[in-house]
Structure 1
Amino acid sequence: MENNRYPHAQMSGGKGQASPQRILLSFDIEEFDVPREHGVELPMEEQARISVAGTEAILDILKEHQVKATFFSTANFAQLAPAVITRLLDEGHELASHGYYHWTFETADLKRSKDTLEAQTGVTIRGYRQARMMPVAEQEVQRAGYTYNSSLNPTFIPGRYMHLSTPRTYFMKEGILQIPASVTPILRFPLFWLSCHNLPFGLYRWLCRRTLRHDGYLVVYFHPWEFYPLGDHPELKLPFIVRNNSGEGMKERLSKWISAFKEEGTTFVTFTEFTDSLNSLS
């Protein structure tokens, strides 16, 4: 049972409703600083180059399948890669904030990243996701002017997340709509990027489908550097679970995953479209 301290509105895509089930597909586009966690320092230009290459590959796949997604970008990456930011907006995707820098954070970055992205693109930034899905003060997110926050992975991963007591699906907190990453019912198995890399593809797709049918919607997220051939670069010292199925493997998996759900009639929506649909029900 979901925690009843947090209001949860009726899903328009839930049981007994005519609206189709919806997938909120998202990508955290950022400086490729993962090697730094393993003692490898990459120049910022190289971090940006790898993430740009991955983002371009993602956009090609989304264009092929004619689906829309939400891109959570650090302000730093957006300034380093203005052409790819322009492309994703021109192709109808949503841009949201992923902070200012990916490696460091201070409270002022909440508003500073929003202001910087808006000044660069001329679009209103409504959503936020904290780097590495770490905790962030909801009052500060609200004060910075965001409409929704997607910084929660409601699962248990040793050394990273301990969120088994939080709501598993969307809820309101401090005046901000919280849109957690999807985890399976009951066991709360995470359906994030690492699961797609390392589970047998059929099992990952089945878990996503089961969760989608249970909740009426699904939230998944990936990163651009996953679509770069990390396995060809041992000098980065990345663990196998990160390298596994990277590059062409992830391109193939994402394409097959999207195709499978499109064939079943699932609708892909941006986070803002999802948020606005909930407002229309209240």
Structure 2
Amino acid sequence: MILLSFDTEEFDVPREHGIDISLEEGVCVSVEGTRRILDCLKANGVKATFFCTGNFAQQAPATLRRIIDEGHEVACHGVDHWRPKTDDVLQSKQILEDVTGLPMKGYRQPRMFPVSDEDIQNAGFLYNSSLNPAFIPGRYMHLTTPRTWFMQGDVMQIPASVTPLLRFPLFWLSLHNLPQWLYHAMVRRVLRHDGYFVTYFHPWEFYDLQAHSEYRMPFIIRHHSGWEMVNRLDRLVKMLKNRGEEFITYAEFVQRKHPVR
């Protein structure tokens, strides 16, 4: 089983490097990236989960409608990606449900940072996917946390996939910068070991970042961005489909592993 997801937020990475970018511009970048992602998924006939911020949902409702109409899941990703607040868990759920007219079942904290388990449960979420169980300097030190799904009260925790033993992260930066054959080999290793694979990307990775020097993106982010990243995603999906792997949403995964009574 493949749990493919996209953190569908307003593009704010330039702010991490001292460059101001408006909400409107950040949303436009991510709308274009999401369009390219959806075209790729539609061409391959696979489903994914889109974790959306409240900002993105309110600014780009037509994009959310396309996500839903093409059979994908929408889940919550906070409200403002740049300035997370303590009440974002519940507020993001309210915003997304208002925009989509659908119940929100899952949550992912912006930048995979810690989030209150109590808040997640009180908001009525079925799952939380805010854990990257790896060591990434300046971001995560989660080498002692479970690396596969587990229950936290009534909520399923769905960590991003890392390789067994060494816990090498197989998230977005890895597909950008590793030789694709090596990334594919590590994905297959996880599938043999765990029986499923969880990964995530961002729409702005599929935007032509190399053509925008004003964003001052580090090489590891702009490397293979834009259409090159679309092609990398396409090759990854085709490799997994050729293996007979099934692409399911996170909500479907929860229902299969821990049916709601």
The residue type equivalent to 1:228 in the other structure is: Y
Determine the structure 2 residue equivalent to 1:65.
Answer: 44
**2:245 aligned with 1:246:** no
SS of aligned partner of 1:96: strand
* Counterpart Cα distance in 2 of 1:212 and 1:38: 36
SS at match of 1:36: helix
Q: Answer yes or no: is the 8 Å Cα contact 1:74–1:113 preserved in 2.
A: yes
3-state DSSP class of the match of 2:200? Answer: strand
Q: Distance in 2 between matches of 1:44 and 1:108?
A: 20
Partner of 1:149: 128
Where structure 2 has 5 or more consecutive residues not aligned to the other structure, the ranges are none
Q: Cα–Cα, structure 1 residues 145 and 281, in superposed 2: closer, same or farther, change >3 Å?
A: closer
Q: 1:89 is matched with which residue?
A: 68
CA distance, structure 1, for counterparts of residue 233 and residue 14 of structure 2 = 23
Question: Aligned AA for 2:59?
Answer: L
Separation (CA, whole Å) in 1 of partners of 2:145 and 2:258: 22
2:215 to 229, 236, 240: 236
Please state how far the C-alpha of 1:280 moved relative to its aligned partner: 4.1
1:265 to 229, 244, 247: 244
1:166 aligns with 2:145: yes
Corresponding position of 1:5: none
One-letter amino acid of the structure 1 residue matched with residue 151 of structure 2: M
> Alignment partner of 2:74: what SS?
strand
Please say if residues 76 and 101 of structure 1, whose CA atoms lie closer than 8 Å, have aligned partners that are also in contact. Answer: yes
Distance (Å, rounded) in 2 between the aligned partners of 1:63 and 1:262 = 13
Question: Following TM superposition, where does structure 1 have runs of at least 4 consecutive aligned residues deviating by more than 6 angstroms?
Answer: none
Structure 1 residue 75: Cα displacement: 0.8
2:3 aligns to what? Answer: 24
- How far 1:107 moved relative to its partner? 2.1
Long gaps (5+) in structure 1: 1-21
Match of 1:35 in 2: 14
Alignment correspondent of 2:86: 107
Deviation at 1:240, TM superposition (A): 0.1
CA distance in 2, matches of 1:116, 1:132: 20
CA distance in 1, matches of 2:15, 2:164: 34
Over the matched positions of the two proteins, sequence identity in percent amounts to 58
TM-superposed deviation, 1:106: 1.7
Structure-2 residue corresponding to 1:45: 24
The answer to whether the 8 A contact 1:139-1:174 is kept is: no
SS of structure 2 residue aligned to 1:191: coil
CA RMSD of aligned residues (A): 1.1
1:109 CA displacement: 1.2
**Structure 2 partner of 1:214:** 193
Is 2:170 the partner of 1:191?
yes
- Aligned pairs, how many? 261
Aligned to 1:10: none
Q: Quick one: which amino acid aligns to residue 217 of structure 1?
A: Y
Matched with 2:202 is: 223
1:281 Cα deviation from its structure 2 partner: 10
Secondary structure, in 3 states, of the residue corresponding to 1:202? Answer: helix
TM-score relative to the length of structure 1: 0.91
- Cα deviation, 1:167-193, whole Å, max 9, x if unaligned, reads 000001132100000000000000000
Tell me the SS of whatever aligns to 1:249: helix
Once residues 137 and 113 of structure 1 are traced to their aligned partners in structure 2, the CA distance between those partners, rounded to angstroms, is 14
